[in-house]
Amino acid sequence: MDTTLQDPLVGQVLDGRYRIDARIAVGGMATVYRAVDTRLDRILALKVMHPTLAADASFVDRFIREAKSVARLAHPNVVGVFDQGTDGAYVYLAMEYVAGCTLRDVLRERGALQPRAALDILEPVLAALGAAHRAGFVHRDMKPENVLIGDDGRVKVADFGLVRAVDTVTSTTGSVLGTVSYLAPEQIEHGTADTRADVYACGVVLYEMLTGSKPHSGSTPAQVLYQHLHEDVPAPSAAVPGLAAELDELVAAATARNPEIRPYDAVALLSQAREARSALSDEQLDVVPPQAQPEAQPEAEGQGRAEDRTSVIPRALGTPVPLPADGNGGEPLNRTSRLQMPPPDAPPQPAPRGRTVVPRRGVLAIVTALLLVLGVGAGVWYINSGQFTRVPSLLGQTEKEAGKRLSAAGLDIKKVERKFSEAYERGTVMDSAPKSRARIRNNGSVTLVVSRGPEIVEVPDVERLPLDKAKREIEKAGLAPGIITKAFSEAVPQGSVISTAPGAGTKRQPDSAIAMVVSKGSPIEVPDVTGESVEDATSELEDLGFDVKVAAGRVSSQEEAGSVAKQSAAEGDRLAEGDTITLTVSKGPRMIPVPDVVGENVDDATIALEDAGFDVDVDRPFLSFSDEIASQSVEGGEGAPEGSTVTIKTKGL
């Protein structure tokens, strides 16, 4: 049975503008419909908040405020936001409609993906999130349901409904909004999220694409949350033999339980993903995973598993549980979560990977026995030799290179701190604890202090530079390229930077976004080419610098068949070189029947002919004073081209 028939909104028109045609999906916070914007005559997606949430004034205010912010995100891999409004009890968001499917649909149907396909999806997702992160926003609900794959192959990130400005994220003591399977440990523990929470979720999504299943599962959401806090995401190659180590490392980096160890934002993770791809051979990229059993479809629309749905998750559920500082069970972060301890059937907390847990009494007994057998001197030699190593030289190394050196020495990273420095380049190690060459136990952990560069950096002068070069200069200075807008300029070549905000020489903190205005070149005025042949019109427009496209269909018009009936840009419009103008070809005027007006007076005859779509010409014989129509140039009932002239003649003497 078609469940959309039961939806009271289907068939309704919201806000006097959006006609709802069908229900697409139901989520934890809203229902998404396919709708038609009756003003602009275009199909779009309409997201309508559930009434229970729409009744919360503070939630609605935040929804509206954040929707307006997200609407400013212009990126080819972000689902566009067109409009937001309310209609009675309904609060809605009008968005770009993407014909296709979600990544969740693909995973349910196919199971695990080949690494090449997984990276082909991951990279545009990270590009979209990177644009949001550098513009100051966090998504906070990344999951396969929010990755849209269009019929044309384009990948877009949807549902920024939980998005928040990075510098306005606040802690919520009672609950956290999100999807259980993709929540980062810090979201569960503290209810806060920055760009690294999105990075964690993307790591989980990558694992799911490579293996066909989620890294953490349980019979209750609480068990899944517990595993996020206490268990590392396993290596994908453990589930799919043959996957390259670079993919294991990419997942491990993104899903480190300590956020300080993760890539700082989606831009950084995208760089690592591209580096991992470049290191893989074609054979490694095309590893065929074993045929996974697709996930069972929900019994009814919108009734997916609880851990797949966006929901309000209570945090204050029970006994505080410490959050490890790293992925290997290191020291706590000196904070506690309010997550309820799992029920008896939950999996026990695993021992840290790569370590053997032995009861302390057993260790003491072994050492004591050795001392008795070998003597005190031999016992001291046993305890000290082979159990210690030295921290390798790390100063001046990049964070990645430092990690490799520590790993080669049998050590790992406990956490990464970032501080400003005038002496060390941005991204390089300026200190460590213990310090380089210090003695440390085998399998120990080292804290890295990585330079953020100078505490205040100066915005470089990139005016008149090509956009790509300007971006490199901004990044080199320790800043981030921000929102790009375009404007006409007579002085600056097309594609080069007109200005920045803030301007050159302005002092800013590292990683601040720098917006740029890029030149569209000198404006070109569009001529009127209607009535011209397609060949002549195309030649004229291309000579001016425009690209020309001819629409597939033809339309009836007053223009001669085969000539241009209309153009997408009107005469006098100002466009940039390279902009596209679409031409629609005429199939000639429609033939319509001419009304019979003989015997009627001039005024009535004129009205009848004009209403039918004709122009009228009145012919009065010399010395004729009659208004009665004696004849007409086209007899009544015969066909004539719409818009053509019909001559009516009055009676003579």
Q: Which residue has the higher pLDDT, 452 or 251?
A: 251
Let me know if residue 353 belongs to a domain.
Answer: no
Is there a contact between 591 and 613 (Cβ–Cβ < 8 Å)?
no
Do 259 and 321 fall into the same domain? yes
Query: Same structural domain for residues 106 and 235?
Result: yes
Instruction: Please report the pLDDT score of residue 164 as a whole number.
Output: 53
Confidence grade of residue 106 (pLDDT, cut at 50, 70, 90): very high
Q: What is the mean pLDDT of residues 175-194?
A: 80
Domain of residue 118 covers: 100-296+305-344
First to last CA, the chain: 77
| 179 and 34 in a common domain | no
Tokens 């000579």, located at residue: 543
- Is it the case that residue 303 has pLDDT exceeding 50? no
Q: Using the 3D structure, point to which of 436, 451, 466 is the last residue of a domain.
A: 451
Over residues 102-106, mean pLDDT = 92
Whether the CB-CB separation of 428 and 462 falls below 8 Å is answered with: no
Q: Indicate the range of 65-74, 169-178, 402-411, 488-497 predicted with least confidence.
A: 169-178
Mean pLDDT of all residues in the chain?
81
CATH number at residue 531: 3.30.10.20
**Lowest-confidence pick of 113-122, 323-332, 540-549:** 323-332
Does 352 reside within a domain? no
Identify whether 351 is part of a domain.
Answer: no
Instruction: Look up residue 123 and give its amino acid.
Output: E
The Cα–Cα gap between 9 and 51 comes to: 12
* pLDDT tens-digit series, residues 560-571: 999 999 999 999
- CA quadruple 243, 244, 250, 255: dihedral positive or negative? positive
> What is the bridge-based pairing of β-strands 18-26 and 13-14?
antiparallel
- In the structure, what pLDDT confidence band is assigned to residue 617 with cuts at 50, 70 and 90? very high
Q: Does one domain contain both 78 and 158?
A: no
- At 496 the pLDDT is 96
Percent of the chain having pLDDT more than 70?
81
Pairwise pLDDT comparison (300 vs 115), residue with the higher score: 115
Identify whether residues 491 and 530 lie together within a single domain: no
* pLDDT surpassing 80 at residue 333: no
Tens-place pLDDT, residues 50-69: 887 777 777 777 777 667 76
**Do residue 324 and residue 444 come from a single domain?**
no
Q: In the structure, what pLDDT confidence band is assigned to residue 361 with cuts at 50, 70 and 90?
A: very low
What is the percent of the chain with per-residue pLDDT over 90, rounded to a whole number?
49
Q: Do 321 and 201 fall within a single domain?
A: yes
- Worst-scoring range by mean pLDDT, 274-283, 379-388, 508-517? 379-388
Query: What residues are labeled active site?
Result: 141
Q: Determine the 3-state secondary structure of 538 from DSSP.
A: helix
Q: What is the largest CA-CA distance in the chain?
A: 147
pLDDT at 435: 86
Confidence at residue 136, expressed as pLDDT on a 0 to 100 scale: 83
Q: pTM of the entire structure?
A: 0.49
On whether the CB atoms of residues 287 and 114 are closer than 8 A, the answer is yes
Backbone angles phi, psi at 30, to 5 degrees: -160, 165
* Cα Rg of the chain (Å, integer): 34
pLDDT at 153 over 90: no
Distance CA 364, CA 373 (A): 14
pLDDT grade for 524, boundaries at 50, 70 and 90: very high
> Does residue 115 sit in the same domain as residue 210?
yes
**pLDDT tens digits, 221-272:** 888 888 889 889 999 999 999 999 999 999 999 999 888 889 888 999 999 9
213 and 91 belong to one structural domain:
no
Task: Provide the pLDDT for residue 167.
Answer: 42
Angle between the 195-211 and 115-134 helix axes, to the nearest 10 degrees?
A: 170
Given 586, 601, 633, the domain boundary residue is: 586
The number of beta carbons lying within 10 Å of the beta carbon of residue 175 is: 14
Quickly state the pLDDT bin for 291 (edges 50, 70, 90): low
Residue predicted with more confidence, 459 or 334:
459
Return the CATH number at 85.
3.30.200.20
Helix (H, G, I), strand (E, B) or coil at 365: helix
| Same structural domain, 92 and 228 | no
Instruction: From 218, 168, 208, select the one nearest 339 (Cα to Cα).
Output: 218
Q: Is the dihedral of CA 475, 479, 481, 487 positive or negative?
A: negative
Q: Which residue has the higher pLDDT, 54 or 162?
A: 54
Cα(118)–Cα(120) distance, integer angstroms: 5
Q: 493: which DSSP letter?
A: P
Tens digit of each residue's pLDDT (9 = 90 or more) over 17-28: 999 999 988 877
**Residue 67, φ and ψ in degrees, nearest 5:** -65, -40
529 has pLDDT over 90: yes
pLDDT at 353 over 60: no
> What is the tally of structural domains in the chain?
6
